[in-house]
């Protein structure tokens, strides 16, 4: 399996190249040359597979055996999920029997955010590729291959990346976060990791300032090459791939729970469009999925796209909501979805190659339009296809708080089960409620199963949870619900460098810490 760029100029990349570089040299994102085929009998043969077994099957479709031998891939996958505290890795919990509503808990990894599912895998993948390169050096005195990861975080990505990469040989990690603008628990999660290869930098500025510094450092060609800069943000193809697995896992868990031929509507809390894109690929592979619902908060650029066909930045800029991991102006992974629209609905060429080239041109134009005018528009045919593939809804702050309260307030006689939702998950749960009749008329049946992806443990977002519950539960105390790892975290030693919003200061710090 080879990969190409969504902008069309670059193609023929191996999986290793796609993973190690992250972004194609023409500025596009890597996509697989084709969508592979599932085995004809996968619905029966995969039914009782564990998460890791499923992962091996799905990932093998996208990674050539000649690139990573299956036994190595298995080892990487097993190691990646051995750090999860739930035996099912991503368990499914029913919270409303009447509505057949389930929560897919993706937060049982080391940092209690769904990003662990992908970043635990990515860290082990980096390590595997580096080790292999280094063991094939001609002479032991040749310089070692290394990787310097430079990333920015508004909270969750940094922690998950640090836990995915701590202690990895020949990898140095520099994560910038905006000083005083991540939650105390998120900061402590990152800065209490004291491994020598981990470096936290608090920047006097905003998240956008941090991201600008990352981009500027990647833009310094000398610096990028000298230090082999690498990226861990959500456009990395390996992250998308790793996340397709839990859509399969949810399907088979329902089958084992007695659902014959389950008809599933997935609700996916969406920011950078990585998690929902993984569901899109799962469906394209052939997993039976009734609907995928892009669930946004009031930063609703994707929702507005599905209404209008315009992909347009909000005039007000990024809005602060109770679900901060979804507070985005534009969704970087959306470009991949757009490629399929351009290829199928906008390209007019007769041959496959002509259509691929045209799709690349169209994406380049759309992305240029977005940059220069703040928006782009797709054709009616593309919009129609987009709506066939995905649905979308948006949830206000008030409804987010109210939904958390509703599921915590459940009484014993209810068909619901008492459950504490995190605010990101609540965005999807609210939509699963208000979109019921619309979805039923769309699908032509109402006896479907709703699966809401739960992207974080509620204790990571205590403020929003308390705000939701305090009026009715003045005694509410998060402490008994805290995962063990959070207990006493504020008393642990923290290590963090405080730097001004200045590229040179960051570059200098990085040079002083890498010993090569």
Ligand X SMILES: *Cc1c(COP(=O)(O)O)cnc(C)c1O
Q: Which of 77, 325, 342, 506 binds ligand X (CB under 6 A)?
A: 325
CA atoms within 13 A on the CB side of 213: 30
Give the active site residues. Answer: 115
Locate the DSSP E strands across 59-139.
92-96, 101-105
**Binding flag, residue 336, ligand X (CB under 6 A):** no
Q: Answer for the pair 281, 413: CB distance below 8 angstroms, yes or no.
A: no
Q: Which of 16, 96, 105, 275 binds ligand X (CB under 6 A)?
A: 275
- Which residue number, 146 or 291, has a Cβ lying nearer to ligand X? 291
Distance CA 390, CA 262 (A): 18
Distance CA 270, CA 277 (A): 10
Q: Which of 269, 279, 360, 428 binds ligand X (CB under 6 A)?
A: 269
Q: Interaction with ligand X in 397-416: which residues (CB under 6 A)?
A: none
Q: Which of 262, 274, 322, 458 binds ligand X (CB under 6 A)?
A: 274
Q: Interaction with ligand X in 111-130: which residues (CB under 6 A)?
A: 113, 115
Number of residues forming the site for ligand X (CB under 6 A): 16
Q: Interaction with ligand X in 451-470: which residues (CB under 6 A)?
A: 455-456
- Segment contacting ligand X (CB under 6 A): 81-89, 175-183, 264-272, 499-507? 264-272
Q: Interaction with ligand X in 423-442: which residues (CB under 6 A)?
A: 424
Q: Answer for the pair 379, 345: CB distance below 8 angstroms, yes or no.
A: yes
State in angstroms the smallest separation of the CB of 276 from ligand X.
6
Locate the DSSP E strands across 123-263.
147-152, 171-178, 198-203, 229-230
State in angstroms the smallest separation of the CB of 223 from ligand X.
27
Q: Residue 458, SS3?
A: helix
- Segment contacting ligand X (CB under 6 A): 166-174, 202-210, 263-271, 439-447? 263-271
- Which residue number, 364 or 459, has a Cβ lying nearer to ligand X? 459
Binding mask 154-193 toward ligand X (x if CB under 6 A, else -) reads --x-------------------------------------
DSSP at 342: I
Largest CA distance in the chain: 72
Q: How many residues does the chain have?
A: 516
DSSP letter string, 225-283: HHTTEE--STT-HHHHHHHHHHHHHHHHHHHHTT-SS--EEEEEE-SSSHHHHHHHHHH
- Which residue number, 262 or 269, has a Cβ lying nearer to ligand X? 269
Q: Answer for the pair 452, 267: CB distance below 8 angstroms, yes or no.
A: yes
Q: Which residues 6+ apart lie within 8 Å of 53 measured at CB?
A: 46
State in angstroms the smallest separation of the CB of 239 from ligand X.
8
- Which residue number, 110 or 360, has a Cβ lying nearer to ligand X? 110
DSSP at 143: P
Residues at the interface with ligand X (CB under 6 A): 113, 115, 156, 234, 269-275, 325-326, 424, 455-456
């Amino acid at each position: 399996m080879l990969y190409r760029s969504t902008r069309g100029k670059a193609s023929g990349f191996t999986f290793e190249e796609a993973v190690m570089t992250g972004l194609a040299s023409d500025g596009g994102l890597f996509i697989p040359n084709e969508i592979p085929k599932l085995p004809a009998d996968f619905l029966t043969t995969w039914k009782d597979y564990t998460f890791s077994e499923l992962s091996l099957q799905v990932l093998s479709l996208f990674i050539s055996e000649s690139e990573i031998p299956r036994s190595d891939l298995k080892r990487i996958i097993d190691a990646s999920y051995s750090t999860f505290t739930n035996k099912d890795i991503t368990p499914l919990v029913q919270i409303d029997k009447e509505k057949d509503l389930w929560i897919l808990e993706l937060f049982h990894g080391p940092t209690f955010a769904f990003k662990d599912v992908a970043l635990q895998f990515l860290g082990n993948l980096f390590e595997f590729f580096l080790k292999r390169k280094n063991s094939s050096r001609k002479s032991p005195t040749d310089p070692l291959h290394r990787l310097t990861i430079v990333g920015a975080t508004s909270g969750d990505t940094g922690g998950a990346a640090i836990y995915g990469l701590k202690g990895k040989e020949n990898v140095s990690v520099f994560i910038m976060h905006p000083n005083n603008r991540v939650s105390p628990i998120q900061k402590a999660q990152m800065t209490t990791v004291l491994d020598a290869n981990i470096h936290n930098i608090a920047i006097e500025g905003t998240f956008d300032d941090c991201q600008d510094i990352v981009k500027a450092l990647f833009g310094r060609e000398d610096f990028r090459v000298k230090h082999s800069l690498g990226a861990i943000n959500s456009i990395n193809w390996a992250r998308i791939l790793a996340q397709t697995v839990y859509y399969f896992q949810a399907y088979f868990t329902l089958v084992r729970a007695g659902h014959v031929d389950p008809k599933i509507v997935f609700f996916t809390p969406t920011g950078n469009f990585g998690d929902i894109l993984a569901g899109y690929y799962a469906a394209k592979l052939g997993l039976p999925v009734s609907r995928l619902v892009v669930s946004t908060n009031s930063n609703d650029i994707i929702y507005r796209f599905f209404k209008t066909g315009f992909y347009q930045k909000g005039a007000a800029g990024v809005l602060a909501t109770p679900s901060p991991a979804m507070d985005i102006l534009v969704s970087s992974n959306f470009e991949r979805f757009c490629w399929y629209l351009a290829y199928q609905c906008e390209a007019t060429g007769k041959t496959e190659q002509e259509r691929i080239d045209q799709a690349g041109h169209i994406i380049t134009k759309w992305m240029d339009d977005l940059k220069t005018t703040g928006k782009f528009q797709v054709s009616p045919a593309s919009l129609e296809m987009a709506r066939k593939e995905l649905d979308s809804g948006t949830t206000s702050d008030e409804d987010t708080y109210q939904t958390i309260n509703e599921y915590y307030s459940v009484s014993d006689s209810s068909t619901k089960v008492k459950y504490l939702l995190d605010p990101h998950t609540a965005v999807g749960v609210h939509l699963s409620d208000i979109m019921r009749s619309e979805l039923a008329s769309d699908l032509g049946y109402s006896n479907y199963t709703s699966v809401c992806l739960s992207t974080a443990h509620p204790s990571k977002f205590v403020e929003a949870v308390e705000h939701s519950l305090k009026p009715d539960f003045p005694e509410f105390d998060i402490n008994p619900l805290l995962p063990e790892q959070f207990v006493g975290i504020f008393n642990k030693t923290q290590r963090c460098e405080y730097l001004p919003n200045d590229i040179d200061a960051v570059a200098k710090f990085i040079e002083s810490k890498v010993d090569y």
